[in-house]
Amino acid sequence: MCGIVGYVGRQDAVPVLLEGLARLEYRGYDSAGIAVVRNGTLRVHKRAGKVRDLAASMPKRLSGQVGIAHTRWATHGQPSDANAHPHVDMANRIAVVHNGMIEDSALLRERLRAEGVQFSSETDTELLAHLIAREDADDLEEAVRRALRRVHGAYGIAVLDATAPDRIVLARNGSPVLIGIGDHQMLCASDMAALVRHAQQVVHLEDGELATVTAESFSTATLDARPTVKTATTLESAASDYERGGFEHFMLKEISEQPQAIDATLRGRLDARLATARLGGLNLTARELRAFRRVHVIACGSALYAGMVGAGMLESLARIPAAAESAAEFRYRNAVIEPETLYVAVSQSGETADTLAAVEEIARKGGRVLGVVNVPGSSIARAVDGGIYLHAGPELSVASTKAFTSMTVAFALLALHLGRLRDLGPADGQRLLSALAKLPDKAAEALAAHDELKQLAAWIASAQSSFFIGRVRGYPVALEGAQKLKEVSYVHAEAYPAAELKHGPLALISPELPTVAIVPDDELLEKNLASLEQIHSRGGEVLAVAHRQLGTLADRLILVPKSEPELDPILLGLPLQLLAYYAAAALGRDIDQPRNLAKSVTVE
């Protein structure tokens, strides 16, 4: 959601800011804008719509060596030119871009109106510009500090002052802000993607920190003006990681990258000598791991479904009770935090607001939390006690594909590691190690049937709705398959445990409502085939995702290579990603940026 970019240096800021905004488009947005300072004058240009609309309408002489820019995802006020960021004060001296939400904005707006302030937008962000401008402070940083003490809510902000044209002031509380360190230039952003072309190192602000950034240096301090010390880390990603590389969409590129992503998640973590997984980042001894009596996974969206796959692996391999729960529900239900429970937080971005809040609640109550995240240095990565980095590489399409798959692979490693510490014998350990080593090649095989999947996708896209069903290992695969279809094609889809058909959903079965069935070749095969019989007997049509031919029980079939039963869900979900992608393409959808959705959900 929402993207921030800032630049101060020797170059013209405008091209750098526009490039940064383009690299943040994947996060989801409805408007964009830019502000620069030149010759002591603040100039702002903003538009509802895409970054390309902003660039096309840009005044030719708009330039400056310091500037901030933003892509907005509407919270307060509809998408419009007026509501787009940056927002300025009445004197056109202060400009602010803001991610997050000011919770007491309505009350503060009324107070400012009573003091004679005239607002030009419906946003909560504009009041920050007015508050900062009205502070009688010695410098911009102190004015920002005083203004922020008057508000409640989440924010990541960047602030310009026309009378201080050599600097940008940043602040963070609940929404990520990064500083990019370059050669005689500094950048700021809400996401690493905006920094990769112009910075070599990066610094992450913590909640409650402010920073003042100039072309040559930066300084950081707390809201009560205590200086803080930051350590810069080297940027691991390259600019090419954020480009489509000949693919029509990032989603298709990232689906195709999954064999390499699986290999990257596994690399260096398979221990053949001890028939286990090597996970040094857990920061837990074997004795500490053995002391846990259960595992509780917390996540949202696709990460939650990966957690459900993972919980099944943990129970199967480590023989430890495990469950997955929505972090959005967990954080509000006053959960009992048990010292003998290992909590695992899962997030591609490492910034998911509900998951981060759940991590903080668990930590507050003394629980032990591991993270499964894809972005080093992210908020969740810094908040947990240890964990597993996915190393899947940047994921830019809003719909998660390679990160979801790498999450399930990470859970397989965790389950193997815990299993070998408990009751899983070396023969089973070697069996799983061998299967994990073969996963990249099997993933490539599972993703090979593009022409066939295009035809199946056209059939699915022609339906008004569809069911996805599966049992035990297949159920989270069905959930994720239905979600992918919904979010990128806008075709309604619902997932059910296959055994639940007779408890209500069978009433909807008809020739017009297809069913996608996950049918692994395992101990539940006969049960799954019985479910297909029930659908056929009521006139329904079935697309089966299976390891073998199913005869007349499957009207259409996607064959997937077989792995070990515990790992089968990883491969069974892959063709469903392509099914959703090609259905969306057939319907002409905006695949990488589906309507109403954002990549990184950093507000509730």
Please list the active-site residues.
2, 599
Q: Which two tokens stand for residue 172?
A: 């963070």
Which burial class, exposed, middle or buried, applies to 260 when counting CB atoms under 10 A from its CB (0-12, 13-18, 19+)?
A: middle
Q: How many Cβ atoms are within 10 Å of 454's Cβ, its own excluded?
A: 16
| Beta carbons within 8 Å of 212's beta carbon, 6+ residues apart | 140, 141, 167, 168, 169, 170, 218, 219
297 Rama sector, left if φ>0, alpha if ψ -120 to 50, beta otherwise: beta
Residue 167 burial (CB count, 10 A): 22
Preceding peptide of 86 cis, ω within 30°: yes
**3-state percent breakdown (helix, strand, coil) of the chain, nearest 5:** 40, 25, 35
User: How many Cβ atoms from other residues are within 10 Å of residue 206's Cβ?
Assistant: 14
Q: What is the DSSP secondary structure assignment for residue 233, as one 8-state letter?
A: E
Who contacts 532 (Cβ-Cβ below 8 Å, separation ≥6)? 517, 519, 542, 544, 550, 553, 554
Q: What is the DSSP letter of 510?
A: B
From residue 490, alpha-carbon distances to 69, 511, 541, 594, 595 in Å are 31, 20, 21, 8, 9
Q: What's the distance, CA 366 to chain centroid?
A: 26
* Cα gap 411→244, rounded to integer Å: 28
Q: What are φ and ψ of residue 218, in 5° steps? A: -145, 155
Contacts of residue 401, Cβ cutoff 8 Å, sequence gap at least 6? 251, 254, 255, 258, 395, 484, 577
Calculate the alpha carbon distances from 113 to 88, 109, 116, 131 in Å: 15, 6, 5, 12
d(CA 317, CA 320) in angstroms, rounded, equals 8
Location of structure tokens 């998951």:
355
The Cα–Cα gap between 202 and 205 comes to 10
Alpha helices in 32-104 (DSSP H): 51-56
Do 483 and 301 meet the contact criterion of CB atoms below 8 Å apart?
A: yes
Strand, coil or helix: 387: strand
Closest CA to 254 of 376, 400, 372: 400
